[in-house]
A and B are shown apart, each in its own frame.
Chain A
Amino acid sequence: AQKITQTQPGMFVQEKEAVTLDCTYDTSDQSYGLFWYKQPSSGEMIFLIYQGSYDEQNATEGRYSLNFQKARKSANLVISASQLGDSAMYFCAMRESARQLTFGSGTQLTVLP
């Protein structure tokens, strides 16, 4: 079974609008971490935001926020006030105890002027 599922291969958003990128996960561990990374066309992986399984509040980092719904096992990324530079591939990832980071299939976000 897929550990991380991203159901949106591609998304479009108008500049200055908000967009939500979906991510659901599957784990039986109690302790785990959820991450979002951005990969522009240059290929580098840029860390955006982290949510711990025990964190009660949703994580926020500037224009990025994570909508964490533990019971539903979802960790959606919300980008507010989209900018043209936000166009990139976005990966949701999970890290379970003493294991490596597992990535979803990614969502290609295109910000339209």
Chain B
Amino acid sequence: GAVVSQHPSRVICKSGTSVKIECRSLDFQATTMFWYRQFPKQSLMLMATSNEGSKATYEQGVEKDKFLINHASLTLSTLTVTSAHPEDSSFYICSASRTGGATNEKLFFGSGTQLSVL
């Protein structure tokens, strides 16, 4: 199956610093990548949808200046948490889509990043 690589798997940072998370599709070109956030024991909540070469579409309530998404190539999308604060501590996970919207497409996910802000 398709492989999506996400790094780092875990990061601890001080409050006020910025953290960059990378999501790579290793064996296919991803027209669209999705970024999710997950709190402990809860479901995945979509943060934003990024298409290669264009601005990301953010879900309601997600601060685009806080969570910067760049999808510069068909195999790489990055999420930067700017000026991180303890309330940004969470599990972030990406998924990559070949088709962008086909209902029968099996989305593959990265392994996730656990962010802890001190």
| Chain A residues at the B interface, C-beta cutoff of 8 Å | 31-33, 35, 37, 42-45, 47, 50, 52-53, 91, 95-106, 108
Closest Cβ of chain A to B46, distance in Å, is 5
A31 adjacent to B109 (CB under 8 Å): no
Partner of B95 from A33, A52, A97, A101 at Cβ < 8 Å: A101
A96 adjacent to B103 (CB under 8 Å): yes
* B110 contact set on A, CB distance < 8 A: 44
Q: Known A44-B109, A47-B108; judge A91-B44 contact (CB<8 A).
A: yes
Partner of A103 from B43, B105, B108 at Cβ < 8 Å: B43
Chain B: residues with Cβ within 8 Å of the partner, total of 24
In the assembled complex, the Cα of A102 lies from the Cα of B46 at a distance in Å of: 8
A100 adjacent to B49 (CB under 8 Å): yes
B106 adjacent to A47 (CB under 8 Å): yes
* A97 contact set on B, CB distance < 8 A: 101, 103
* A47 contact set on B, CB distance < 8 A: 1, 106-108
0/1 per residue, B7-39, Cβ < 8 Å to A? Answer: 000000000000000000000000000100000
Q: Which residue of B lies closest to A35 (CB)?
A: B106
Q: Known A43-B91, A43-B112, A44-B112; judge A101-B42 contact (CB<8 A).
A: no
In the assembled complex, the Cα of A104 lies from the Cα of B45 at a distance in Å of: 10
B42 adjacent to A43 (CB under 8 Å): no
* A31 contact set on B, CB distance < 8 A: 103
* B44 contact set on A, CB distance < 8 A: 45, 91, 103
